[in-house]
Amino acid sequence: MDAEPALLCRGRVLRTEGGLTVAGSGAVRNSPGARVALLAGKGSLPVELARRLAEAGTLPLVMSWRSDPETFKPFARPLVRLRLLRMSRVVREMRRHGATQLIMAGLIPKKLLYILPYLLPFVLDPLGIRALTRGARDDHSLLGSIVSVLEEEGIAVLPYWQLLPEFMATEGPMSSRAPTEGELQDVSCGVDVLRVTLPCSFGQALVVSGGAVVAVEAMEGTDAMIERAGTLVRRGVVVKMMRADQDPRYDIPIIGPRTIEKMRSARLTCLAVEAHRTLIMEPQKTFSLADSYGIAVWGIEGAPLSCPSS
């Protein structure tokens, strides 16, 4: 099967000529002769993206880091395993295989950005040093610096959410049970607080119980925050929204079955996320679990994401 390029436009994948590129019109369309690479971290998201690209006729170059390379074999040509995350290696592999466009996806724990054994190969890499010396060391700023360095090397970073339109949260009830009046009051409280914290480098999600903020997400991530809240209260709601400094090409809020399982263990009864700006992995399984546990999943009104202009 030859790699035949495709077109992404507002969630649709169409066949055409050329490679994928970001167009100023707000769509992602093809650039003649370009190839797409996928830098794949952990989780099911990179595998789903590779599958979608392959189904559209675009077999991507997959660079697997902290993920199982075997899961990509049916969808990748070629497949490269990265034992260490060195940006110079990423650029070298892309140039070697004629790829000029990159999709970045997969769970990279925030704490890895601060643990020396994981950070050292990055620090010793010339492109990594260039990224680290550009500003703040919070995860969003560091990812932004990495993307900036890649762009300087002639690589275009593409948004992945357009490949998964049916995975995006919608407004209103998404599970069988709608939130109660009390839960909606807690959701409203959480939204008000997040509007204050979202411009900062923390606070993508929080837990509210009876009008009181119980826990706010920081470096530990949403799952760990939910676990912590479960040690403090016996009921509550989770509110998760997109931060002001998140680049929608590679960094949008994500929930999934694991989120629901964590909420059940913590005895939290409602999950509210920002519509059109939150990705729901395995949506059918997520909503089925929520229904079986009596958890309400609710979409807060949000502005649709748009593609960055070139």
Q: For residue range 137-176, what is the model confidence (pLDDT) as tens digits?
A: 666 677 788 888 999 999 999 999 989 999 999 999 999 9
Backbone angles phi, psi at 127, to 5 degrees: -70, -35
Considering the segment(s) 168-300 as one domain, its CATH architecture is 3-Layer(aba) Sandwich (3.40)
Secondary structure (3-state) at 4:
coil
Q: 270 vs 180, 264, 285, CA distance in Å?
A: 9, 10, 17
pLDDT in the model for residue 26: 37
- In this prediction, residue 128 carries a pLDDT of 78
Q: What is the pLDDT of residue 21?
A: 40
Gap between the Cα atoms of 187 and 40, Å rounded:
33
Q: Residue 273 pairs with which residues in a beta bridge?
A: 240, 299
Q: What pLDDT sits at residue 288? A: 98
Q: Which CATH class is domain 6-163?
A: alpha beta
Strand-pairing partners, residue 62, are 38, 79
137: number of Cβ within 10 Å: 11
d(CA 65, CA 108): 9
pLDDT for 23 equals 36
Task: Output the pLDDT for position 30.
Answer: 42
How many residues comprise the chain?
310
272 near 298, Cβ under 8 Å?
A: yes
Give the pLDDT of the chain (310 residues) as one tens digit per residue. 333 333 343 333 333 333 444 333 334 444 444 689 999 988 889 999 999 999 988 889 999 987 888 889 888 888 888 877 788 999 999 999 999 999 999 866 666 666 655 566 666 688 877 877 776 666 667 778 888 899 999 999 999 998 999 999 999 999 999 999 999 999 999 999 999 988 887 788 999 999 999 999 988 889 999 999 999 999 999 999 998 778 888 889 999 999 999 999 999 999 999 999 999 999 999 999 999 999 999 999 987 887 555 4
| The pLDDT of residue 192 | 96
pLDDT at 119: 62
Token pair in block for residue 88 = 């110079």
DSSP sequence for 19-36: EEEE-TTSSEEEETT-EE
C-alpha 275/C-alpha 295 separation (Å) is: 17
Calpha distance 45→10 (Å, rounded): 19
Alpha helical stretches, state H, the chain? 45-55, 87-96, 116-123, 126-132, 139-152, 181-197, 222-230, 257-266, 283-293
| pLDDT given for residue 67 in this prediction | 81
Q: What is the DSSP letter of 168?
A: B
| Residue ranges, CATH 3.40.50.20, the chain | 6-163
Q: According to the model, what pLDDT value does residue 14 have?
A: 34
The residues that bridge with 61 in the sheet, in sequence order, are: 37
Q: What is the pTM of this model?
A: 0.81
For the chain, the maximum distance between any two Cα atoms, rounded to a whole number of angstroms, is: 58
Question: What are the residues whose beta carbons fall under 8 Å from the beta carbon of 200, sequence distance 6 or more?
Answer: none
CATH 3.40.140.80 residue ranges in the chain? 168-300
φ, ψ for residue 273, nearest 5 deg: -130, 160
How many CB atoms neighbour CB 110 within 10 A?
15
